[in-house]
């Protein structure tokens, strides 16, 4: 038996104390707080899972851990009181322009772009789709410059024009619309590119439209039609589109283009047929894409948008459009029920871009969450023609969570109170 000297006894004792301390901590770590964040008592609307009631939402490691009544506050590191607020999946905006920064072409249209994080979180948006601001030639630059550097999840419709919205005459060049090169880039970035875009073509040939459709078919992705195609009839476009393809600026009223509403205020029959066939109508409000004179009769006669793409760009956000929440508030005051609005802003939008991992609060899904307040008061909502609809309800983003992290907190819901 070894005889220990005083020094060794002391070391042994220290070892035992350290070991004891460690063992006494293990149960605390194991049973203490299984959740990072807990949203208590909010009104959860998660259309995918048919949830519409007061529940608690627990988050761990950036994912939804549990949605249930009365999850004990003691089980979370941080607890937020969401009483009186709506808790929904993070909003999905499928029509934005966010290719900011230098680009080698003339970027006549590129200057429309905004930096996504500056405008998304304050509106409850956690995912945006850039609508063809880039094409196969400059998508890698867009990815390096914006997509990889943004906290917002940025996805993309790839423009059939090689350099995307690079200004005229470049974006009109039919010879630079290449379905093969476009689908090669799609194959390289399947986790980011969610569709092919045709738009801003001013000519009267169907070749660009058909080339874009061909690229979409090759890639098994939706075609996104931004119908500033004044020479090509709306009926011809809708006839060529497949179920699941998306048309935006659905309620536009510019003289060169046929509208969804005819002179007698009726939705044109071929438009309703297209909706029945499965073509998806996106709002695409932007600067000129949304008119009450189109949207209100359309809504009353059963032509509802499938999603609330904002067409966010430098000019629309300072004009009638403002934000995706403002568009949602317009439809709320037009009479669309709140649950239908959340459906279109989350699950419908995610499904339309074949990303069923998004737009829902299923257990295990990424914790992208919008916490919204519904304000009562006197508000004015303005369309692209400068017409105002008065209303008494308005949605506002109180808190936005992206992958479990609080990225927007309007009134300090998650902050510590000042104490004198």
Contacts of 110 (CB under 8 A, 6+ apart): 99, 103, 133, 164, 165, 166, 167
Nearer to Zn ion, 40 or 313 (CB): 313
Nearer to Zn ion, 283 or 328 (CB): 283
Point out which span in 7-15, 128-136, 254-262, 340-348 binds Zn ion (CB under 5 A): 128-136
Which DSSP state fits 161? B
Q: Answer whether 200's CB lies under 8 Å from 171's CB.
A: yes
Q: Is 128 in the site for Zn ion (CB under 5 A)?
A: no
Pairing between β-strand 76-81 and β-strand 35-46 as defined by DSSP bridges: parallel
Nearer to Zn ion, 42 or 164 (CB): 164
Point out which span in 76-84, 298-306, 311-319, 412-420 binds Zn ion (CB under 5 A): 311-319
Q: How far is the CB of 168 from Zn ion (least distance, A)?
A: 16
Q: How far is the CB of 249 from Zn ion (least distance, A)?
A: 8
Point out which span in 127-135, 187-195, 388-396, 399-407 binds Zn ion (CB under 5 A): 127-135
Nearer to Zn ion, 105 or 311 (CB): 311
Contacts of 225 (CB under 8 A, 6+ apart): 197, 198, 199, 209, 237, 241, 245, 246, 247, 248
Q: Is 109 in the site for Zn ion (CB under 5 A)?
A: no
Q: Which of 311, 368, 396, 398 binds Zn ion (CB under 5 A)?
A: 311
Pairwise CA distance, residues 71 & 58, whole Å: 8
Quickly tell me which residue has 């799609």 as its tokens: 186
Q: Is 129 in the site for Zn ion (CB under 5 A)?
A: no
Nearer to Zn ion, 311 or 398 (CB): 311
Q: How far is the CB of 111 from Zn ion (least distance, A)?
A: 13
Distance of CA 165 to the CA centre of its chain: 21
How many residues would you count in the chain?
Answer: 420
Pairwise CA distance, residues 319 & 111, whole Å: 17
Question: What tokens appear for 261 in the block?
Answer: 């509403």
Give me the sign of the Cα torsion angle 293, 295, 301, 303.
positive
Nearest residue to Zn ion, using CB? 311
258 to 70, 83, 268, 383: CA distances (angstroms): 53, 46, 10, 18
Nearer to Zn ion, 131 or 365 (CB): 131
Q: Which of 55, 131, 147, 324 binds Zn ion (CB under 5 A)?
A: 131
Nearer to Zn ion, 46 or 383 (CB): 383
Q: How far is the CB of 62 from Zn ion (least distance, A)?
A: 31
Q: How far is the CB of 404 from Zn ion (least distance, A)?
A: 31
Nearer to Zn ion, 80 or 92 (CB): 92
Pairwise CA distance, residues 93 & 121, whole Å: 11
Point out which span in 49-57, 71-79, 131-139, 156-164 binds Zn ion (CB under 5 A): 131-139
Name the site residues for Zn ion (rule: CB under 5 A): 131, 311
């Amino acid at each position: 038996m070894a005889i220990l000297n005083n020094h060794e006894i002391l070391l042994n004792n220290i070892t035992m104390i350290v070991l004891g301390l460690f063992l006494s901590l293990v149960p605390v770590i194991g049973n203490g707080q299984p959740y990072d964040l807990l949203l208590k008592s909010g009104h959860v609307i998660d259309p995918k899972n048919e949830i519409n009631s007061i529940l608690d939402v627990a988050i761990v490691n950036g994912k939804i851990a549990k949605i249930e009544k009365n999850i004990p506050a003691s089980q979370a590191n941080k607890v937020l009181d969401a009483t009186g607020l709506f808790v929904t999946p993070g909003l999905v905006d499928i029509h934005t322009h966010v290719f900011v920064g230098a680009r080698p072409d003339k970027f006549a249209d590129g200057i429309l772009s905004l930096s996504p994080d500056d405008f998304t979180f304050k509106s409850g948006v956690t995912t945006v789709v850039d609508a063809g601001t880039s094409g196969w030639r400059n998508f890698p630059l867009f990815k390096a410059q914006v997509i990889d550097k943004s906290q917002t999840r940025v996805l993309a419709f790839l423009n059939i024009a090689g350099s995307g919205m690079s200004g005229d005459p470049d974006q009109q060049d039919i010879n630079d619309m290449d379905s093969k090169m476009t689908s090669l880039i799609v194959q390289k970035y399947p986790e980011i590119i969610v569709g092919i875009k045709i738009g801003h073509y001013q000519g009267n040939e169907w070749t660009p439209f058909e080339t874009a459709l061909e690229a979409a078919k090759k890639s098994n992705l939706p075609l996104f039609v931004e119908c500033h195609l004044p020479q090509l009839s709306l009926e011809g476009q809708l006839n060529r589109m497949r179920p699941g393809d998306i048309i935006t600026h659905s309620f536009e009223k510019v003289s060169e283009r046929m509208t969804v509403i005819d002179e007698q205020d009726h939705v044109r029959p071929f438009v309703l047929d297209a909706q029945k066939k499965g073509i998806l109508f996106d709002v695409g409000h932007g600067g000129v894409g949304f008119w009450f004179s189109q949207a209100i009769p359309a809504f009353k006669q059963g032509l509802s948008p499938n999603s609330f793409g904002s067409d966010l760009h430098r000019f629309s956000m300072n004009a009638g459009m403002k934000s995706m929440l403002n568009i949602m508030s317009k439809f709320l005051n037009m009479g669309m029920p709140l649950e239908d609005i959340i459906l279109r802003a989350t699950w419908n939008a995610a499904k339309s871009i074949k990303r069923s991992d998004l737009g829902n609060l299923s257990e295990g899904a990424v914790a992208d969450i919008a916490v919204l307040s519904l304000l009562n008061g006197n508000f004015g909502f303005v369309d692209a023609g400068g017409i105002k609809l008065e209303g008494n309800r308005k949605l506002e983003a109180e808190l936005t969570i992206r992958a479990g992290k609080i990225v927007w907190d309007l009134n300090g819901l998650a902050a510590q109170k000042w104490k004198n």
